[in-house]
Amino acid sequence: MRLVVALTGASGQIYGIRVLEELAKRDVETHVIVSKAARITLEAEGYSISDVEKLSSYFYSDDELAAPISSGSFRHDGMIVAPCSIKTASSIACGIADNLVTRAADVTLKERRKLLLLVRETPLHTGHLRTLLTLSELGAIIMPPVPAFYIKPKSVDEIVTHTVARALSFFDIEVESKRWEGLKV
């Protein structure tokens, strides 16, 4: 399996890191892009570019518009943007492919591959909601990382893992995590 993974400037870099950790455990080939804003947020949240590079099969900066993943002829099984800033989501929705993150996402949509966006923004105004609707209409999967408290998490780590497990399940990748089993009444 081969996935494109992008980290953008929103808070919640742990989501992208955890996605890469889980994919590395499964020998999934990853093509990773880190936006300029994500580089700043990674540092602010206690990570470094080298942390991301170590977890990547292939690593690109967002100005590498000639990278293989910028073309529809590059075959992959989908793309995850985690976290996805509203700026990135807006650019993708409008087809503004002016960096490698948005170009790779645009190509993913045009080739009818899975594009999953862990959109990190709150509250959402009407323009944000219209953007997310447009993305959904284009075929993207919109998945804000909303915690599931029915799993009775005991740590932030459990919350992050559960969200990442749900995200990766869209690509038929199983990550061990608590699941809803219904109510016993």
The 10 Å CB-count burial string (b at 16+, else e) for 95-105 is eebebbbbbbb
87 is in an annotated binding site: yes
Query: What percent of the chain has a predicted confidence (pLDDT) above 90?
Result: 94
Is 102 labelled as part of a ligand binding site?
A: no
pTM for the predicted model, two decimal places:
0.95
Residue 9 assigned to a binding site:
yes
Domain boundaries of the chain, sorted by first residue: 2-170
pLDDT averages per 10-residue partition of the chain, 185 residues = 98 98 96 97 97 98 96 98 98 97 98 98 97 98 95 95 97 89 80
Q: What is the CATH number of domain 2-170?
A: 3.40.50.1950
- Tens of pLDDT, residue by residue over 93-145, are 999 999 999 999 999 999 999 999 999 999 999 999 999 999 999 999 999 99
CA distances from 85 to 82, 102, 184 (A): 9, 11, 39
Shortest CA distance to 108 belongs to which of 60, 66, 70? 70
Residue 85 assigned ligand-binding role:
yes
Q: Is 48 annotated as a binding residue?
A: no
Does 35 count as an annotated binding residue?
yes
**Residue 75, annotated as binding a ligand:** no
